[in-house]
Every structure is written in C-alpha cells, then in structure tokens.
Amino acid sequence: MLFPAGLIRRAALLALCLSSLSAMSHSLQAGDELPVRPEAIDFGELTFDPPSATEFKSTLSNGVVLYLLQDRALPLINISFSFSGGDYLDPIGKEGLASLTGAMVRRGGTTTISPEELDERFDFLAAEAGAGIGGESASASLDSLVQNFDESFMLFMDMLRNPGFDAERFETLRTQVIEGMKERNDNGNSILGREWQALMYGRDHFEARQSTLASIESITIEDMRAFHKTIFHPGNLVIGVTGDFEVASIKKSLEAALDGWPAGERPAPPPAPTHELSPGVYYVEKDIPQGKVSIGMRGVKRDHPDSTTLRVMNLILGGGGFTSRITNKVRTEEGLAYSAGSSMSPNYYYPGEFRAFVESKSSTCALATKLILDEVERIRTKPVTQEELDVAKASVIETFPRAFESKKSVRDLFVGEEWRPHVDGFYKNYRNRVAAITVEDIQRVAREHLDPSKVAILVIGKWADIAPGDLNGRAKMADFFDGGVTELPLRDPLTLEPIGP
C-alpha cells in the first residue's frame, strides 16, 4: 500500500516526539533532584561546529552546482531547483509577469500533458511538485517517495522544461489575481506596506512596483513562455537534493534530465534604488479602528562590517520580543499596543532598512510614536546595560544552530550561498563575532546608523483622531518635524492611481 508523503512525515514526527519524551524520562535517574526553579538548571556550554559547504558540494558535467545531503530517516527524496531572477525583471507595464509565470509552470500542465492529467499523476504517485517566482529568485521543488521517484522526477522535469501554460488555467489564475487586487485597500496593512515601500525605495523601483488591472490584462501566454526561458535553464541553476538516495544514482538521473536543455545567460542582479528617502511625517486617510504606524530609514547592506552588531542592537531595541525596550515601553509599561517592535533588514545587493512599528488606538498613535523615537535616541546616547547585551547575544548564539537543524535547512542555506555568498568563514566565526560585541559597540552602531531626524513616519488611519494626540497632552503628531505633514492619497486598488480630486 502507498501512503501519502504528508502522512509519512506526520508519523515520523510523532515517533520523534515519543522518542524525545522517552529519552527525557530516562535522563532523570533514581535519586536525581529537580532544581527548585528553572533558572537553577545548570546548562553546559553550547558547542557546535557548523558544517562546511564543501562537504556536500559537487558539479555536474554541464557546470550546474549540486548539493547532496543524504537522509535515511524516511523513504523520501526532495529535490530543489533554484534560479536567479524575479519580479525585478518584469517589464514596465507588465508588472505581475514573473509571479504569473511562476504559478503557471505548475498549474498549466506541459506541452504533452493536460493540467488535469498532470495533477492526477502527481497525486497517484503521492508526489508534491511546485514552482514559483519571487522578488529576486525563482524555485521549483519535488517531494517524492523513493519507490516512485523515477516517474515523479520525469513528470517534474517535463513540467519545468516544457510548461504548457494552459489557456483555461491561465484565465482562471488571472481572474483570481484580479479579484485579490480588488481587496488591496480593505486592510490597512496592505496600504501601509505599499506606501512604505514607495517611501523607502521610490515608486518606480521594483521593491515598490505593483501590478495593476492593465498590467495583468496585458500579459499573454507568449510573454510567459519568453519569461520562462529567461529564468528556467541550466545556465541559471543550482540544485539541492536531500533524502534517501544513492549519490551515483541521483547524479545519473540529474545528468540525464538536464541533457539537451540549452543553457542561457544568467539574469543581471536586481538594480539598486536611486530614490532618496525624504524624512518627515506622512499619512494615508483610512477609516480603521486602530492607527498603523511605521517609523524608519534606509539601513545597510548584508555584508556591512556593522551588520552583525546592528542585529544584536536591534534585539535590544525592538526586535527581541518581550525583552526588548520598545515592546516593554509601549506595550508592557504604557499599555498602548498589542504589537510594537522593530526590525533591521539588510539587503545583499543594496542597503536595506530599519523599521519600527506599532498599532495603537487613534488617540495614542502620537504617544506611541514618541515613545519609540525616545527609545531610538536613548540607545544612541546612553550605553545599554550589560545584562541587556548578554541576553541579546545569548539569543543569537544559542539559536544559531537552528539554521543547521535539518538536512533540508542546511541544503537550502548552502544553495542560497551560491547566489548571495557571505565572506569566507562567516558561519564558522559567527558566534565568536557576536560574543565579542561590547556595550560600546552597541552605542556606536546605533549612533552611526540610526538618526531620528532622518526617519520617515508613515501613519494609516483616521487623521482627525490621530493628529491631536492623547487626552493627557503627552504627545501630538505636530511634535514631529516641526508639525510638517504630507498626506498621501489612497490609491485605486486596480489602477493604483490616486483616488479623489
């Protein structure tokens, strides 16, 4: 009898949990005393040496890089094809082309197999196949039982190399996308995200560009076929395999599957934005129960020398959950919001961003904003405590091994490194670099990379209720940037043109 792959995985997870509970019960020998309090538990020093990519890396005869990680726990094989290129390659006026192409590679059948038949054959084989294109990269994957791998992989490669782009399936997908676009203004978070990206990167940069009704309707099957050829080919491919396989056999299968597939050119990397952020207060009028606020500025590239220290700094400031300053101040002490914090998001190709965020009732949005900016200024001008630093560093150091907790996560990490490599020794020395961070380092990077006078403050909500501030007069929106404010228009969800006169 054949069992679905998902059922096998759930059974394996249950067995693992039972095994862990058994091991825990046996670890407490007769006579052992439990600590009085959890903090009295004596944990040994964490030792972990991250694996090296060279342990798993090889190259096929056509030059395609391959990562192979055997895992005999389950009779499954997972194959991942990773490609460079994404939404940033959408031509002007055809925004959405990349996303639609990625979806149709799986949904549209092949040139010889109808979509319905392809679905049925994958289901019969208990195999899961998928494909998609994101902002900067594309991927395709296959989960298969070992005993059905040959046939499943044959279907998978036919799907990748010869997508059918079925016209009926395409019209269904197009309709679904357009219906989803109609809801863009129903949620304040959608408006916030759209306008925030435009403030940070410029409305013409791919980070902020979005599809419209016109762009979606202009996309043809021929457009998708051409876009598919731009991204999906061996000259733009890195492969990762995990599961129960023999190395020689899987290499032979891959060599045969890629044979005769023309290798094109690798797409150019994403362009850096030329837009300069203009500091100030911005708002979009929207009748919602709570105001939504983002506060931030452009940040650093991923491999900036201060990137690791900035990560630790942000954990103390607002990225560390209930241990972070922003969460404690805005939520715990003041009770102004359920969600408040910050993120530091470096980018590989160009500087990313720092962003603090909060959702609060309209009358306290200004106060919550003031408290966040006060915390930004405090971490710039006053040293953090040693205890805060120790907690943040321990969080990074002790969770670091999670990046390598499964064969699949290790594979995906090293595949990603092929496209966006770190400097040599990055993972091997990472915990030592974190451990060496000092209180002085935290204040220095905060002072150099955060500046409240250079941030943008974006508010979504009922401005007439938000602007006056709280009833106790602790803060109002006019307190920021000398009272200057710019209203951004709400945009039509289908055309993205401003609504109103």
SS3 assignment for 145-182 = EHHHHHHHHHHHHHHHHCECCCHHHHHHHHHHHHHHHC
User: Cα–Cα distance between 62 and 54 in angstroms, integer?
Assistant: 19
CB 496 within 8 A of CB 320: no
Return the amino acid letter for 374.
Answer: D
The predicted model scores a pTM of: 0.89
Tokens (6 digits) for 119: 């679905």
User: Cα–Cα distance between 165 and 425 in angstroms, integer?
Assistant: 44
CA-wise closest residue to 460 among 182, 185, 191: 191
Residues comprising the chain, all counted: 501
**pLDDT of the residue at 170:** 98
**pLDDT of the residue at 48:** 83
Read out DSSP for 264-296?
A: -PPPPPPPPP------EEEEEE---SEEEEEEE
CA-wise closest residue to 66 among 231, 227, 258: 258
Rg, Å, the chain Cα set? 26
Which residues are registered as beta bridge partners of 358? 293, 340
In a 13 Å sphere around the CA of 460, the CA atoms on its Cβ side amount to: 22
**pLDDT of the residue at 13:** 52
Q: Tens place of pLDDT for every residue, the chain, 501 residues?
A: 444 545 445 545 555 454 444 444 444 444 556 777 777 777 666 678 899 999 999 999 999 999 999 999 999 999 999 999 999 999 999 999 999 999 999 999 999 999 999 999 999 999 999 999 999 999 999 999 999 999 999 999 999 999 999 999 999 999 999 999 999 999 999 999 999 999 999 999 999 999 999 999 999 999 999 999 999 999 999 999 999 999 999 999 999 999 999 999 999 999 999 999 999 999 999 999 999 999 999 999 999 999 999 999 999 999 999 999 999 999 999 999 999 999 999 999 999 999 999 999 999 999 999 999 999 999 999 999 999 999 999 999 999 999 999 999 999 999 999 999 999 889 999 999 999 999 999 999 999 999 999 999 999 999 999 999 999 999 999 999 999 999 999 999 999 999 976
Full set of structural domains in the chain with CATH: 54-258 (3.30.830.10), 280-487 (3.30.830.10)
**pLDDT of the residue at 424:** 87
- Residue 48, classified by CB atoms within 10 Å of its CB into exposed (0-12), middle (13-18) or buried (19+), is exposed
* Count of other CB atoms within 10 angstroms of residue 202: 17
Cβ neighbours for 52, distance < 8 A, ≥ 6 positions apart: 428
Q: Which helix (H) or strand (E) holds 66?
A: strand 65-70
**pLDDT of the residue at 10:** 54
Vertex 203, ends 183 and 139: CA angle to 5°? 70
Tokens (6 digits) for 163: 């997508």
Tokens (6 digits) for 316: 């103390």
User: Cα–Cα distance between 411 and 427 in angstroms, integer?
Assistant: 14
Provide φ and ψ at 239, rounded to 5°: -115, 140
CA 326 to chain centre: 23
**pLDDT of the residue at 35:** 76
Q: Which helix (H) or strand (E) holds 241?
A: strand 237-243
